[in-house]
Structure 1
Amino acid sequence: MNLPSNAFQPPTGIDTDSAAEKIPKLQAQQPANADAVDMEELHSTEDDFRRRSPLLWRLTLYGPFAVSIVATALLAVLAGTKFAGRIVGAAALSAWVMGRFIILTGSEAAFLDFSGPLSAEHLFLLVMWMDVMTALVLAFHIGFLFRIPLIGTRVLALVTDGHFILDAHPWMRRATFVGLTGFVMFPLTATGAVGGSVFGRLLGMSRFATFTGIVLGSFLGNGIMYFFAEQIAKVADRDHPVIKYGGFVLIALITVILERRYRTLRAKYQSGELQQH
């Protein structure tokens, strides 16, 4: 069951309530003529999906976690625990700090060299893996996430992000699939596979269409980062300490600046300083 493009309404503030308590309050804050989403209906679509396709429901919810654990264990056996540890560390750094920018920090090591630092190829595949696994869970189970403490509140914040970006770029609503792909390509924490799952539902897309758009957007966005990493390698030694660590600091700085600028604009949008369409 697809949701209409205006199904979600952005939260007007952040408080200490749980996600389950916050949702009805946010709905009550909407204007009388607003087409606010019925969260029970959203949850019912999740329950309906579980009844209609129990195997697919379980595979998409539990499969990504199980496959990722098995893949990490295989890496530890085949490539060594040190390499597997570097992969896990890079995954955490990408998830919490750098996003797909981490691809730019890859070394010039050969792809099959597991003894040294991670190459740009390793990091490209790692970020793609993370995006695909995340998309499998979120694109198919976004309604389930609203019930989880802390995570549900974060998803509500992403709803505001989606509305803000749709208002800033109305063509995305008209283009739908292309809009989702472009949304996921942009390197912000509000975008990517997590934000793309919410964004796809804002656009009224199906689970499979949302998943496909996220994977395509991730591939293109990560591919652009890999391309720049290869261009850097042509003009400089990526493994030189100045390039490696200086570049890391520069990328982190760019990430912080982009995030701060985005959050400032989003805050203005929420406060009404920016026109909401």
Structure 2
Amino acid sequence: MQRVGVRSDGGSDDRPGWLKVSVPFLLCGVVFVGAGLILPTEQWLLLFCMMVAYVVPPLGRETIIPAGILLGIPWWLIAFTLAFLDFAGGLFMAWNFPLVLRIPYVGPWIQRFMAAGRTYLDRRPWLERFYFLGLIIFVSIPFDGSGSIVGSIVGRMLGMTKTEVLSCITIGGVIGSFAIALGIDYITNLIPAEAGPWVSFAVFLVIGTALLVMYRSYSRMRETDA
């Protein structure tokens, strides 16, 4: 079932397959090389580790951004980097969704996820009226499974075009990353410089613990609803 008048494939795409696979990774490489012109070598390598950690579950922006700021990476750079990774992930999924469905274990999981989600939406058709804004909010909120990959799958279930899905993921990624980075940077500036790094670490630990408790509570509620 798709929304009336909306094509789920976004039209024909005659780009070569190798181009659609490689371009998102090349764009990430360009961003990483550009960051090397700004950061010292040590922080540059730390940024690379954080980029990898963000792509590989279970760490999300709510963990990566505070850690990056605490390690000296500018708040705007870590926020831009993670937002760009969301864009690159959305672009990869938009161009290579049929290819991803053929990946062992991953493809069958996506198909089961879409079938269950489609059933859920069919029982609640009013949710599809807010498809665009809803997907932006879904991507921007930092909880497990709210990144560009799952966001792309949700957009497919809603019958959105590639352009719509990529726009939602990009906007949601920018809002989520910069909101967290600005908040952490503000908290960091409230801590006196003479307090030392251990005080900053303790503050971030308290914030992280609070976020973990909130996430666990949300997970239990979601399991109960399921």
Q: Is the 8 A contact 2:140 2:173 kept in 1?
A: yes
Question: Retained in 1: the 8 A contact 2:79–2:178?
Answer: yes
Secondary structure of 1:117's aligned partner: coil
Separation in 2, partners of 1:197, 1:63: 18
Corresponding position of 1:264: 220
Counterparts in 2 of 1:182-201, with a 5 A limit?
182-201=137-156
TM-score (norm 2): 0.76
Runs of 4+ in 1 over 6 A off after TM superposition: 167-170
Q: Deviations over 1:57-78 (max 9, x none)?
A: 5444320112323543565577
- Kept in 1, the 8 Å contact 2:69–2:185? The answer is no
The AA in structure 2 aligned to 1:92 is V
User: 1:8-47 alignment to 2 at 5 Å?
Assistant: none
Q: Is the 8 A contact 1:166 1:173 kept in 2?
A: yes
Q: What is the percentage of aligned positions where both structures have the same residue?
A: 21
Shift of 1:141: 2.5
Judged with a 3 Å threshold, the aligned counterparts in structure 2 of structure 1 residues 74 and 232 are, in CA distance, closer, same or farther, namely closer
Q: Contact conserved, 2:75 with 2:182, CA < 8 A, in 1?
A: no
**Contact (CA 8 Å) 2:50, 2:68: kept in 1 or not?**
no
212 and 90 in structure 1: CA distance in 2 versus 1, 3 angstrom threshold? same
Separation in 2 of the partners of 1:226 and 1:164? 36
In 2, the alpha carbon distance for the partners of 1:62 and 1:157 equals 27
Q: Cα–Cα, structure 1 residues 181 and 70, in superposed 2: closer, same or farther, change >3 Å?
A: closer
Size of the alignment, in residue pairs?
219
Matched, 1:223 2:185: no
Q: For the Cα contact (< 8 Å) 1:171–1:179, is it kept in 2?
A: no
Q: Which residue of 1 aligns with 2:200?
A: 244
Matches within 5 A, 1:112-261: 117-156=72-111, 158-159=113-114, 162=117, 172-237=127-192, 240-261=196-217
Given that 2:139 and 2:148 are in contact with CA atoms closer than 8 Å, whether structure 1 keeps it comes out as yes
Equivalent pair of 1:187/1:221 in contact (CA under 8 Å): yes
Residues 79/182 of structure 1: CA separation in 2 closer, same or farther (3 Å cut): closer
Report if the CA contact (8 A) 1:105-1:120 is conserved: no
> CA-atom RMSD, angstroms?
3.6
Task: Give, in whole Å, the separation in 2 of the partners of 1:168 and 1:257.
Answer: 31
Q: CA deviation at 1:168?
A: 11
2:69 pairs with one of 107, 111, 128 = 107
Partner Cα separation in structure 2 for residue 163 and residue 202 of structure 1:
6
Q: Which moved more, 1:128-137 or 1:64-73?
A: 64-73
- TM-score norm. by structure 1 comes to 0.64
Q: Which moved more, 1:137-146 or 1:252-261?
A: 252-261
Q: Structure 1: which 5+ runs fail to align?
A: 6-41, 109-115, 271-277
Which residue of the other structure, out of 20, 35, 42, is the alignment partner of 1:82?
42
- CA deviations 1:5-48 (Å, max 9, x no partner) are 5xxxxxxxxxxxxxxxxxxxxxxxxxxxxxxxxxxxx9xx69xx
What is the alpha-carbon distance in structure 1 between the residues aligned to residue 98 and residue 190 of structure 2? 47
Q: What's the CA shift for 1:158? A: 4.8
What is the deviation of 1:156? 4.5
Q: Determine which structure has greater relative contact order: mean sequence separation of CA pairs < 8 Å that are 6+ residues apart, divided by chain length.
A: 2
Unmatched runs of 5 consecutive residues or more in structure 2: none
Is the 1:61–1:136 Cα contact (8 Å) retained in structure 2? Answer: no
Distance 1:259 1:127, change over 3 A: same
Cα distance in structure 2, aligned partners of 1:177 and 1:236: 39
Q: Which has the larger radius of gyration?
A: 1
SS of the equivalent of 1:107 reads helix
Secondary structure of 2:69's aligned partner: coil
Once residues 150 and 117 of structure 1 are traced to their aligned partners in structure 2, the CA distance between those partners, rounded to angstroms, is 38
The whole-number CA distance in structure 1 between the counterparts of 2:119 and 2:15 is 36
Q: What letter matches 2:104 in structure 1?
A: P
